[in-house]
Structure 1
Amino acid sequence: MHRTADGPALRVGVLGCAGIAWRNTLPAVLRVPEVRLTALASRDPAKARTFADRFGGTPVEGYDRLLTRDDVDAVYVALPTGLHHHWARRALLAGKHVWAEKPLAATAEQAEDLVRLARANGLVLRDNFMFLHHSQHAVVARVIAEGRIGEPRSFSSAFGIPPRPDDDVRLSAELGGGALLDVGVYTVRAAQLLLGDDLTVAGSVLRVDRARGVDLAGSALLHTPDGRTAALAFGFDRAYRSTYAVWGSEGRLSLDRAFTPPATHRPLLRIERQDHHEELSLAPDDQFAQLVRAFAAAVREKRDHRPYEETLLRHAALTDSIREGARLVAG
């Protein structure tokens, strides 16, 4: 058994051999000694073997077979959004801690069901918003707390990627596709991070592909009870952009590569005031490895998970509100 200074390593099994798992998440797992990859499941046995050859662990054909294994303490759900609720639920019922790709579920009702089940069984439930674990956001919070831009008045964020291939699962309504649930959810979560959970959707627009039944792009305006606003934009139909900014009473700060900085990237934080312009080169950070480490710590330390779960539930409710109240425009 692999052991760390804090005890046995958390044994993780993977449901689904997705691209993000291959490119980012599983390489990060190998960099974190607190976690050991023990099994990888796919409906395609050849794909499971390919992943196991690279990352280790036992290849498993079929997701249910992985959930019955005694050498799996926790499950990473690397499946399309539309399958998260079903398989995360089955994993929780099997007594496994769950860490799912973002967003946790396609609807707030599904997220509430998973949180209830995790609480009832004393299990850890997390989503894979890796950007939250990058140290650059702690620097942003410190700059704001120091009053360097005055009182924050508004937040803006954009996350967009170029058009997807026709067979991309993110364009499948049945699998929970669409820009809101893929890139838009990052901007919502960033607004919560900087403005808090007490946000309400004032309005939203979604540009939809009616033939496919998915949204390709959108925007939303959120606000707090005291009138601070969050303007969000996202889409599959534009040049790559991953950024946020906070505009205050005395200045403005902005951060590029806010959501997807490589582990070697040195973030650049810009601070602008009327008579002052400053650029801070921040330390690089491995946000994927930090997320994996944080999940293992949450399981090991038996902490109170309710604050995280409440933010998770509020995120799901805000995403529902953006979708349900949106003005739909044909793409």
Structure 2
Amino acid sequence: MTTLRWGILGASNFAANFMGPAIHAARGAELTALATSTANKAAPFEAFAPGLRVHDSYDALLADDQVDAVYIPLPNHLHVDWSLKALAAGKHVLCEKPMTLRADQFDALIAARDASGLLVAEAFMIVHHPQFVRAKELIAEGAIGQLRHVDAVFSYFNADQGNIRNQATAGGGGLPDIGVYTFGSVRYVTGQEPLSVPFAHIDYENGVDTFVQMAAKFLDFTYAAVISMRLFNRQEIVFHGDQGVLRVTCPFNAGVFDQAELCLESKVHSRVIERFPGVNHYVLQVEAFGASVRDGVPYACPLEFSKGTQVMMDMVFEAGGGPEG
């Protein structure tokens, strides 16, 4: 197996605690380089990746011919520009969500991908987790009959105004941060796209959304969600059919928030629970990315899929009005 050599643009805490170790642990992957202008921020990475080359600028890492792919965990408003720069430098790209802040920004990324022949994707790790693969199978095979309604919720409390999630200029807000999960997960499991967003209530603070309650209409089912950065931690998706209910517990931070589980209640199965202990979806994401680069294996989350999620977020923002709306 050819090893894919990775570099990381920026020494974020998330990269140090989750994605860096995942790249290091993944089969067929090696973390070889990091770009940070603050030398001491490299220490957590060097602890698990001895011999790591540390560059003092992002451009220097992109010029490193011993890097095949880059992972980009930069603030949201920098994702598109640095993804395009990495592609121009001949690197494959895995970029944190949301990859863009508007759906039309995906067009330049798709064009650059097609022109370069390189893989570029949003880091939407949950589609690589067996919890979601199984949920998709259960819905497709009619385990709950005809799907009629979906409820989704994702919340956490973060009122720190120094955090980039609370800064409008950095592309902050609850929808950009976690709306991608509540929307993208349901699109992935059902294979359907929203037809309309008839209702969206959005609370804003200093130009960023902090609470969203919304409703959408899909072809075969209705959808309701709550997304918030100002509520106690909670995450769950419930798929409600005419013959049963499928609950996806801990759907977004498996192994951190709680253990990933599926709970199926139906006329056929009174109550069946499937558990997925010890699964690291970040490692699976890196391995799937490598398999796609090396062997052409179709990637579960291509740019076209991620654009569809951003389309839905754009619809919600439009339905809810702006900070003064």
User: TM-score when scaled to structure 1?
Assistant: 0.90
| d(CA) in 1 for partners of 2:134, 2:14 | 27
Closer, same or farther: CA 185–318 of 1 in aligned 2, 3 Å: same
1:270·1:277 contact (CA, 8 Å) conserved in 2? no
> How big is each residue's C-alpha offset from its partner over 1:124-152, in whole Å with a ceiling of 9 and x where there is no partner?
01111111111011222233234331111
| d(CA) in 2 for partners of 1:54, 1:303 | 29
2:161·2:167 contact (CA, 8 Å) conserved in 1? no
What does residue 247 of structure 1 align with? 240
| d(CA) in 2 for partners of 1:100, 1:152 | 32
What does residue 282 of structure 2 align with? 288
> How big is each residue's C-alpha offset from its partner over 1:274-302, in whole Å with a ceiling of 9 and x where there is no partner?
69641413232211110010111111113
**Paired amino acid for 1:110:** Q
Write out aligned runs for 1:57-136 (5 A): 57-136=52-131
1:81: how far off? 0.8
1:167 to 162, 167, 171: 162
Counterpart check, 1:310 vs 2:299: no
1:189: how far off? 0.3
What does residue 236 of structure 1 align with? 229
What percent of counterpart residues are identical? 30
> How big is each residue's C-alpha offset from its partner over 1:182-241, in whole Å with a ceiling of 9 and x where there is no partner?
0111101012112224323323221101xx2111111222222x3412212111011111
| d(CA) in 1 for partners of 2:300, 2:156 | 33
1:13·1:38 contact (CA, 8 Å) conserved in 2? yes
What does residue 320 of structure 1 align with? 314
Counterpart check, 1:20 vs 2:14: yes
What does residue 198 of structure 1 align with? 193
SS where residue 258 of structure 1 aligns? coil
**Paired amino acid for 1:213:** G
1:303: how far off? 4.7
| d(CA) in 1 for partners of 2:257, 2:227 | 25
1:181: how far off? 0.2
Closer, same or farther: CA 167–122 of 1 in aligned 2, 3 Å: same
Runs of 4+ in structure 1 displaced over 4 angstroms?
263-266, 303-307
1:243·1:255 contact (CA, 8 Å) conserved in 2? yes
1:22: how far off? 1.4
Gaps of 5+ in 2: none
User: TM-score when scaled to structure 2?
Assistant: 0.92
Gaps of 5+ in 1: 1-5
| d(CA) in 2 for partners of 1:66, 1:26 | 16
**Structure 1 range deviating more: 46-55 or 290-299:** 46-55
> How big is each residue's C-alpha offset from its partner over 1:4-60, in whole Å with a ceiling of 9 and x where there is no partner?
xx22x1011100111211121111112113111111001323313543344341111
**Structure 1 range deviating more: 289-298 or 104-113:** 104-113
